[in-house]
Copies of this chain bind each other. A is one copy, B any other.
């Protein structure tokens, strides 16, 4: 039924001839209510169109069934895929989400943000913004202040906090080994911006794979981009000039690999015959580049789900007073997708 003014628990109680407490028991599904009382209360609730106020409940219960989420770079597809996993799993577990997006990747605005979440009684916080430069330095000073479970995504693990990441290092190593396995001898790399942890991990994976097989790995064999297609194009052109014998290239992400393919196309470099090209991320379009791109798929949706799951565990253990729970570090494995940009169809 439509009502002009929202009914409160008080109206329901009066209308049903019971105390507010009893109504509270009914809406929370407590067992200690007589069947017919329950039925009557439910009818009144229906009749008045009553909905409990989550705000009032949060205040009185001192928890909000809500997580705070910090993200960054939503205009890129990666963070959004993660966020999508977070929304899905939170919904599943019955948590709401308060969202904040960092406009800058630096760390200076962290404190007010945490305060804001705390002021809103969030049950836990998911830090889904990337680790860049010094933007984790606040952890050392502020961590003691946060008396709320907090979980970090995609950063270097440390013992004192819970972290869920995708194994960038492993993925990079595997794809480099794939290129080596194809018989390529001169494997270059276009890295992401090296102040990003993920970019460093990928570069390190490439380097270690080469070293382990006894290949040299020198500075003329790589250049640095900033994840964007445009930067990838420039970085590739520079790399191609200083490393002309290159017969394969591992590009730090698919966006940059996209423009590498374009450049190869323009320069009449045949892919994969003259140059094998591999990316990282596994964005949906990569399969439909010209030619289809070999890449490392990181399941960011799954990352988001896992994060929420883990955070919910932290929250619930804490409520059950299990004392301080040991932070866990979880590493998810990426998946190699071999396509035409490295291997002519079988």
Interface positions of A (Cβ within 8 A of B): 2, 6, 51-56, 58-59, 64, 66, 69, 74-77, 79-81, 83-84, 87-88, 91, 96-101, 103, 115-116, 118-121, 144-145, 228-230, 232-233, 255, 258-259, 261-262, 265-266, 284-285, 287-292, 301
Q: Which chain B positions have C-beta within 8 A of A75?
A: 77, 80-81, 84, 301
Distance A263 CA – B91 CA, assembled complex (angstroms): 39
Other than the given A53-B121, A55-B121, A76-B77, 16 more pairs (CB < 8 A) read: A54-B120, A55-B58, A55-B119, A75-B80, A75-B301, A77-B80, A87-B100, A91-B100, A96-B98, A97-B99, A97-B100, A229-B287, A255-B284, A255-B285, A258-B289, A266-B290
Distance A290 CA – B289 CA, assembled complex (angstroms): 8
Docked-complex contact B265 and A285, CB < 8 angstroms: no
A55: which of B64, B284, B289 is its contact (CB, 8 Å)? Answer: B64
Chain B residue with the shortest CB-CB distance to A97: B99
Docked-complex contact A103 and B88, CB < 8 angstroms: yes
Docked-complex contact A115 and B51, CB < 8 angstroms: yes
Distance A266 CA – B290 CA, assembled complex (angstroms): 8
